Amino acid sequence: MNGEYDVVVIGSGAGGLLAALRAAENGLSVVVLEKAALYGGTTATSGGAIWVPCHGLGDHEDSREQAESYLNHVTGGEAHGERLTAYLDHAPEMVGWMQSLGIGWDMLEGYPDYFTEAPGTVPGRALAPAEVDGKLLGEDYLNMRLPFGAFMLLGRYSMGLDQAFSLSARLPGWQRVAAGIFAKYWLDPLWRLRTKRDRRATMGNAAIAALRLALKQRGVPVMLETPLRRIEAQDGRVTGVEVEREGALARIGVGKGLVLAAGGFEQSQHLRDENLPVSTSAEWSLTPRSGNTGDALIAADALGADREFMANCWWAPSTMLPSFDDPEDIQPQQMFFDHRHPHSLVVNGLGERFLNESCSYDEFGKAMIADQQRTGANLPCWLIFDATYRDKYGCGSIMPGSIMPDRRIPAHFWDRWFYRAPSLAELADKIGLPVDALEASVAQMNKAVAADRDEAFGRGASAYDRFFGDQSVAPNPSMGPVAAPPFYAIRIELGDLGTKGGLKVDGDARVISTSGEAIEGLYAVGNCAASPFANCYPGSGGTIGPAMVFGYVAADHIAGTSGSA
């Protein structure tokens, strides 16, 4: 273990692996150190998209001026101009460089920014990683973290972002999409004899597989179960790291630069309690439980590193549900799309609506926080829906009723995690909501549906809302009456996709000290660093995009080749 590399990267998500790959391409010796037993970090569990204005792929029409206008508007002036400039400068360059290495990206046609009413918004800025054949990685493929369960059809079959959206929104031809996914899995008998894992790496797994394969081809080691314990520095410059390996401490020298890419602090209950604006549980987070405890953040503190935006997360509603086989195995389930479907509404503990249910998941979390601070009756809130919704749409890990009827839902789900009643009044009694308030909220929603106008919260008014609605529902794909019994309810917790706050960095991804100076040789990317978008989530891929872009920027700065392609 003891030795020295030009560049040491802590963390094996997309930001860390991209930094390592760019450094290797710049002729530097590199090692990637990963705390967990599996590589891929939070990226591997995610949808894998990156948000890149002016990417130049396909027939995409965008401009630097539009992107700047959009970001300046949606970040409200809180973001640092230097970092936004660096992002806009290098994001298209990074995509082009990866394409030249054979790492493909596909434009998500028509996929909107998250604020479609803002100036400068342009659809199609989100890019999805091209599918990768896992067989190319050999045994290393089985050491990659699995996707999040909801990103695999029936918990087993890999699907791309476009396929997931088609199935969730039940777009025309969704049955053929599902059949194609099943066929690719089962018509591969030799691979089936080897493992149940789908050979097709898609979404976040595709991004990680492509990067890991490129590193493998260049002989860059990725060392698992090697947590960071301390950063060494002499005369204000990083010189090495102390790590743990097989129960013993070891030192690795850092010749030119240390890149911290170890994720945020959302799995540390202590740091959550210390920094976040309302009381939340680490159990609600949708990130891997084996990492993201703020180790790199704490290690950098010893060098006098500064922090910013620590009160913010990439919010995403979640719900806690047990395994279908084990009542004691309780896991958070993502609710990215569930609250947007017609024939539903969301209410707080007072039985009152408090938001536009069709908003982005980050805005949903912010609305939960604001309502909790205002009423003290959020956390949790409740998704209420009727039999029409239940038949057509999934809910957490529970498949649509047309696929998984109520009789197939295990008994241990009912009236503890998932609720059903023949009337709204009985449903309200079961979940502890005021009956009159819930009935009034549902009546108001049904009135809005009939009028095709949600005067209270504007549900379905924006292009974003309508894009993610059910296109078979007219006239507004975002709303449908909540009227067909039985009625259902499920708790929604304030989940997240990671923290937005972290180490303060400049446009070169260098960590800034509390005295305002860059710490020589120390870089931070991804959720280790404060978000370049401050407290905003501009579009799909707004987390992974900056992680990779600033990994690219950091590697070039370390090599002294900033601006080269």
Write out pLDDT tens, residues 238-282: 999 999 999 999 999 999 999 999 999 999 999 999 999 999 999
Total domains in the fold of the chain: 3
- Please indicate, yes or no, whether residues 267 and 402 belong to a single structural domain of this protein: no
* pLDDT of amino acid 172: 83
- Please indicate, yes or no, whether residues 463 and 379 belong to a single structural domain of this protein: yes
Tokens 């209410």 label which residue? 347
Q: Which of 214, 29, 71 is nearest to 129 (CA)?
A: 214
SS3 letters across 294-348: CHHHHHHHCCCECEECCCCEEECCEEEEECCCCCCCEEEEECCCHHHCCCEEEEC
- Please indicate, yes or no, whether residues 262 and 133 belong to a single structural domain of this protein: yes
Average pLDDT over residues 117-144: 96
- Please indicate, yes or no, whether residues 302 and 350 belong to a single structural domain of this protein: no
Is pLDDT above 70 for 563?
A: no
- Has this prediction a pTM greater than 0.85? yes
Write out pLDDT tens, residues 533-557: 999 999 999 999 999 999 999 999 9
Average pLDDT over residues 348-352: 98
Question: How far, in Å, are 193, 312, 418, 486 from residue 406 at the CA level?
Answer: 33, 38, 11, 11
Question: How far, in Å, are 6, 422, 471, 526 from residue 70 at the CA level?
Answer: 38, 47, 27, 22
| Sequence-distant (≥ 6) Cβ neighbours of residue 290 within 8 angstroms | 35, 36, 37, 38
Cα separation, 214 vs 212, in Å, equals 5
Q: Of 494, 515, 540, which closes a domain?
A: 494
- Please indicate, yes or no, whether residues 213 and 186 belong to a single structural domain of this protein: no
Identity (one letter) of the amino acid at 301? D
* pLDDT of amino acid 565: 40
Backbone φ and ψ of 433, nearest 5°: -100, 150
CATH label of the domain that carries residue 122 = 3.50.50.60
Write out pLDDT tens, residues 23-38: 999 999 999 999 999 9
- Please indicate, yes or no, whether residues 219 and 293 belong to a single structural domain of this protein: yes
Q: Which of 440, 470, 459 is nearest to 356 (CA)?
A: 459
Average pLDDT over residues 32-59: 96
* pLDDT of amino acid 173: 87
Is pLDDT above 90 for 354?
A: yes
Q: Which of 8, 3, 11 is nearest to 23 (CA)?
A: 8
- Please indicate, yes or no, whether residues 142 and 155 belong to a single structural domain of this protein: no
- Please indicate, yes or no, whether residues 414 and 562 belong to a single structural domain of this protein: no
Write out pLDDT tens, residues 447-493: 999 999 999 999 999 999 999 999 899 999 999 999 999 999 999 99
By percentage, how much of the chain surpasses pLDDT 70? 99
- Please indicate, yes or no, whether residues 522 and 407 belong to a single structural domain of this protein: no
* pLDDT of amino acid 162: 85
Mean pLDDT of the chain: 95
Tokens 């949600």 label which residue? 454
Write out pLDDT tens, residues 367-394: 999 999 999 999 999 999 999 999 999 9
- Please indicate, yes or no, whether residues 213 and 177 belong to a single structural domain of this protein: no
* pLDDT of amino acid 332: 95
- Please indicate, yes or no, whether residues 422 and 559 belong to a single structural domain of this protein: no
Identify the domain containing residue 155 by its residue range.
151-197
* pLDDT of amino acid 564: 41
CATH label of the domain that carries residue 408 = 3.90.700.10
Up-side HSE of residue 489: CA atoms within 13 Å toward CB?
Answer: 27
* pLDDT of amino acid 1: 62
By percentage, how much of the chain surpasses pLDDT 90? 90
Cα separation, 192 vs 152, in Å, equals 17
Q: What is the maximum span of the chain, computed from C-alpha positions, in angstroms?
A: 71
Q: Of 133, 165, 197, which closes a domain?
A: 197
| Sequence-distant (≥ 6) Cβ neighbours of residue 486 within 8 angstroms | 386, 387, 420, 421, 422
Backbone φ and ψ of 187, nearest 5°: -90, 40
Q: Of 444, 479, 494, which closes a domain?
A: 494
- Please indicate, yes or no, whether residues 159 and 137 belong to a single structural domain of this protein: no
